[in-house]
Structure 1
C-alpha cells in the first residue's frame, strides 16, 4: 500500500465532515486534489472507502475500519510528540513508575509533586497496575520503581516502606450497615457497590476478593476516582470500598458512614518496590529517596 499521513488526515477530515469538499478545506487542499488523493488511496487499499452521494459521502465498512485505525495512528503520533517534548525543553532524565490504584490516587500526587519540584529536569511516566503486575514488571527489569500493597512469592525485589493505610467500607448514613462498627466482607456482598472503573487495580483486587469467597460483586456503577465513589455512596447509589486516607478528605462535606472490614487484606501498607536498590539509575534512586524519606550512601 502506498499512502502518507496527508492522505490519512484528509480521509479522517472527509469522514468526519461527511463531505469531500468540506473535508478538503479542513486540511487546506483543493477539492480536485482531495478527490484525486482519495481515489489513489482506494486503489492502494484495493477497496472503496467512501460512498459518493448527492449531498455528501458515507463510509463503507472498509472506510469505517480505516477511520478507526487512522484515528489510532494520530493518537499515537500525538503521544509520541508529548513524550519527546520534555527532552526539547531540557529534561535530562526519565523514570518509569508503576503503582496500584491506592497509591496512584491517595499518596503519589503529593509525593511526585514534591519530587518534580526538586528535580525539574526529570520526567516520570506513571502507570496504574495491580500490585502483582507491578512486582513482576520490576522483577523483570521492565520498570525501575513500583509502589505496591502486595508482593509475589519468589519475586526477587526489594521492598521499602512508603505509607500505611487501610481499606474501609463506606455506606450512606441510612443504610442498614451504617450502624455497624465492623463487618466481614462476605456479609456485604448482597448489596450493590460503587466501584472504580474496570481495569483499575482496586477493581480487579475487589472482584478477586469476592470470587475467592465464591461470590459475585454486584457493581451498580463504575466511576473514575475515589472522590466520585464517595459522592455516589453519599447519594445512596451503593456501598464503596476506599482507603481510609481518602475518607479524611471528604468526610467533612459528604454524609458517609465508615465501617471497618474484618479482613487481613484490608490493611494496605504501601511499599516502594525496586529490583536492586544499589543498581538504580541516579534519578530513580532520587525518586526512591523522596518517596521513602531516606538517603542512600554516596556511590
Structure 2
C-alpha cells in the first residue's frame, strides 16, 4: 500500500471541502486527474473512502481513519523538511496559517511581512476564517497555526497572547459624540450604522450584542473593508464599530473621531493557537516564535 504526498494532500483537501471539485482546485489538479487519484486510492485499498451525494462527498469511517493518519504523516514530513532545511536548501518550508478578520486586517500584516522577508525559503498559506472555525481546523490538524479571538472556546489548544482587539465607535468629526470619553453601546443603538458584509465575523459579533439589548442594528450599508466603512462614517451616513487600530489608521486621512465603548465585550484578545508547539514542523515553530517575540517587542500591538 503506497500513497504519495500528492494523493494524501488531495484526499485531505477533498475531505475538508466536501467536494472533489473544490479539493482538486485547492490541490492545483485538474478535476479528471483528482477523480482518478481518488479512485486509484479506493481501488488499492479495496474500500470506499467517500460517500458520494448530490451535495458533495463525506468521508466514510475508513476515510476518517485515513484522514487521521494522513494528517499525522504529512505533518511529520513537513516537520522533517523544516528541521533539515539547513542541509537541504532545495526544499521550501510551508506553513498553513488561519486568522480572523481583525488579525488579517490590522495586527498580522507587519509582523508577518518581517518574518517572510527574513525567511525567503518559506511560504505561508494564509486564509481568513471565523475564530470558531480556526480552532476546529487547528485542533483537527488541518492548519499549523491559528490566530483567534478569546471570545471563542479554545478547547485543549495551546495558546499564546498575540494582540488586543479593542472595538471603538467611528463618528464624523462634527458629531455630537465626538470628544466623548466613552459611551455605552446601548446608548447609541437608535443611531444608523454602517458596517462590514453580513458574513463578517466581527459584524456578527456586534450584531449579537445589539440583539441582546433588544435593538437590532439599523444598517444603512455594508462594505468590504474598514477604510470604506470609515469613509461612510466620515460622510455622516452612519456610525461604525471597528477595531481601534483600524480607526486610528483611517483617522490620519479622514475627518472622523474615535469614541471608546465602555462595554467589556468590546475588548478582545487575539491568541496564537496550536495543537502542540513542540510537535509543529520547524517553519511553523519559527513563525510562532517570531509572532510571540514581535509582540513582546511591542511591534504588533
Higher RCO (Cα < 8 Å, 6 or more apart): 2
Q: TM-score, normalised by structure 2?
A: 0.65
Please give the secondary structure, in 2, of the residue aligned with 1:167: strand
* 1:130 partnered with 2:130: yes
* Number of residue pairs matched by the alignment: 214
Alpha-carbon distance change, 152 to 202 in structure 1, aligned in 2, over 3 angstroms: closer
- The structural deviation recorded for 1:272 is 0.8
* 1:207 partnered with 2:207: yes
Give me the CA root mean square deviation.
Answer: 2.5
- The structural deviation recorded for 1:154 is 6.5
Alpha-carbon distance change, 151 to 190 in structure 1, aligned in 2, over 3 angstroms: closer
User: 1:136–1:155: 8 Å Cα contact kept in structure 2?
Assistant: no
- The structural deviation recorded for 1:172 is 0.9
Deviating beyond 4 angstroms after TM superposition, the runs of 4 or more aligned structure 1 residues are 76-79
Please give the secondary structure, in 1, of the residue aligned with 2:146: strand
| Bigger Rg, which one | 1
Distance (whole Å) between structure 1 residues aligned to residue 270 and residue 25 of structure 2:
35
| Structure 2 stretches lacking a partner, 5+ long | 1-20, 30-89, 295-301
Partner of 2:96: 96
User: 2:132–2:153: 8 Å Cα contact kept in structure 1?
Assistant: no
Question: Is 273-282 or 214-223 further displaced after alignment?
Answer: 214-223
After TM superposition, the structure 1 = structure 2 runs for residues 71-86 of structure 1, keeping only pairs within 5 Å, are: 80=28
| Structure 1 stretches lacking a partner, 5+ long | 1-72, 82-89, 295-299
- The structural deviation recorded for 1:78 is 9.4
Alpha-carbon distance change, 239 to 119 in structure 1, aligned in 2, over 3 angstroms: same
Distance (whole Å) between structure 2 residues aligned to residue 286 and residue 140 of structure 1:
21
User: 1:129–1:200: 8 Å Cα contact kept in structure 2?
Assistant: no
- The structural deviation recorded for 1:119 is 1.9
Partner of 1:234: 234
Distance (whole Å) between structure 2 residues aligned to residue 233 and residue 293 of structure 1:
36
Distance (whole Å) between structure 2 residues aligned to residue 154 and residue 110 of structure 1:
25
Alpha-carbon distance change, 97 to 212 in structure 1, aligned in 2, over 3 angstroms: farther
Partner of 2:178: 178
Q: TM-score, normalised by structure 1?
A: 0.65
Question: Is 257-266 or 113-122 further displaced after alignment?
Answer: 113-122
Cα shift readout 1:86-133 (whole Å, capped 9, x = no counterpart): xxxx66222111111111100211122112112222222222222222
- The structural deviation recorded for 1:234 is 0.8
